[in-house]
């Protein structure tokens, strides 16, 4: 997979290097957030998209043309970045932990 980060420390029993996308998928699953995880075949990248009421509200991508993708980092767009579902800002060079913090902040602000 394109987003593997060489030299990342892993538990000895781990089958393969975990990518930032793998980490994000695992953390979203732990949080009970449903998402779509798909390969972007033309660019050899990967996208995780989160939907609310049938509409995509944010996504994270990692590929050769995404901001930070060549270093295995994530580019994020949508409500967790700037409150906009469409035509909003892209925030690149993010780790899975950064994205999860954005999700937590969004959920906290949404519940107010």
Domain boundaries, the chain: 31-110
For residues 46 and 62, is the Cβ–Cβ distance under 8 A? Answer: yes
Determine the pLDDT at residue 9: 47
Determine the pLDDT at residue 13: 57
Helix (H), strand (E) at residue 24: helix 20-30
Instruction: Please write the tens of the pLDDT for every residue from 3-51.
Output: 344 444 445 555 556 899 999 999 999 999 999 999 988 888 999 999 9
Q: Which 3 state secondary structure label does DSSP give 55?
A: strand
Q: In sequence order, what are the residues at sequence separation of 6 or more whose Cβ sits closer than 8 angstroms to the Cβ of residue 77?
A: 58, 59, 88, 89, 90, 91
Helix (H), strand (E) at residue 81: helix 79-82
State how far the Cα of 109 lies from the Cα of 89, in Å rounded to an integer.
Answer: 19
Determine the pLDDT at residue 54: 92
Instruction: Please write the tens of the pLDDT for every residue from 54-108.
Output: 999 999 999 999 999 999 999 999 999 998 888 889 999 999 999 999 999 999 9
- Pairing outcome for strands 55-62 and 74-78: antiparallel
For residues 60 and 46, is the Cβ–Cβ distance under 8 A? Answer: no
pTM > 0.85: yes or no: no
Determine the pLDDT at residue 42: 84
Determine the pLDDT at residue 112: 75
Longest dimension (CA), the chain: 43
Determine the pLDDT at residue 8: 43
Determine the pLDDT at residue 75: 98
């Amino acid at each position: 997979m394109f987003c593997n980060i060489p030299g990342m420390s892993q538990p000895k029993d781990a089958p393969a290097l975990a990518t930032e996308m793998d980490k994000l998928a695992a953390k979203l699953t732990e949080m009970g957030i449903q998402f779509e995880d798909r390969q972007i075949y033309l660019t050899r990248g990967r996208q995780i998209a989160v939907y609310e009421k049938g509409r995509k509200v944010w996504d994270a991508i990692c590929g050769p043309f995404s901001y930070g993708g060549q270093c295995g980092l994530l580019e994020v767009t949508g409500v967790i970045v700037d409150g906009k579902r469409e035509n909003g800002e892209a925030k690149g060079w993010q780790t899975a932990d950064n994205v999860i913090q954005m999700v937590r902040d969004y959920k906290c602000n949404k519940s107010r």
